[in-house]
Amino acid sequence: MSRFKLICQYDGSSFHGWQLQKDKRTVQGELEKAIAKLNKGKLIHVVGSGRTDAGVHAFGQVAHFDMDTELGHNSLRKAINGNLNEDCYVNSVELVDNEFHARFSAIKREYIYSCRQNRNLLDRNRIWYTDKLNILKLNDAAKILIGNHDFLSFSKKNPQIKNTICNIYQSKWNETNQIVNYHISGNRFLHHMVRYLVGSMVAISQGKYNIKQLKKELDYPTSDSKQFKAPAYGLILNHISYE
């Protein structure tokens, strides 16, 4: 049995997230159905690098699956894409060592969150309209997040998650015309973490929250913290890095 690594992109607008859900359309479910058609209808389990929420997009989601096939890498990629709808596309497929794991072998994850300062209806499913933002305030807040921190206050409560410490390598906002993008990378991320961080920083820019409160939530984490949360559709899983 050979193990394959795939990198895919998807428009999360019509998906109920990555993970399989009964009677709901998910990215994992669509990929498994597409690959099963190449395996005489037998299910092939696809393991992703991590879950994305309903509405969240991806350009560089990584997954692996085990399968016996005589198809070459490019032919396998084309065959999978031929069985997918237009809102999901496999960028590449490659043969990897059987010890490779899409989730546990990853060493860095990169996300981009996009905000727009003026109205543009064509962006409504991929960019959060926030009105005018203060880029200096945003970056003052973003710098605080770099390094090892306990992000319990900025995550969805989950009693099963015991370790809520993440190491953030990059945290930066940049502005191009009316679009303001937030770039963040780290070794791991908690559920809804990026959306809570973005929502909190935008609230700082809008005067609804302040940096002192942000620091307090990092220094004294709590599971019942009331935070601002950005909508899902502005978030993109951009890239996963491996050794």
Q: Report the catalytic residues.
A: 53
Residues 149, 152, 158, 163: is their CA dihedral positive or negative? positive
Look up residue 210 and give its two tokens.
């302040």
* Pair 76, 2: CB distance under 8 Å: no
3-state secondary structure of 5: strand
Residue 48 dihedral angles phi and psi, to the nearest 5°: -90, 165
How far apart, in whole angstroms, are the C-alpha atoms of residue 25 and residue 13?
A: 11
3-state secondary structure of 201: helix
* Pair 13, 27: CB distance under 8 Å: no
b/e burial code for range 14-48 (CB count within 10 A of at least 16 → b): ebbbbeeeeeeebbbbbbbebbbebeeeeebebeb
- First-residue to last-residue Cα distance in the chain: 23
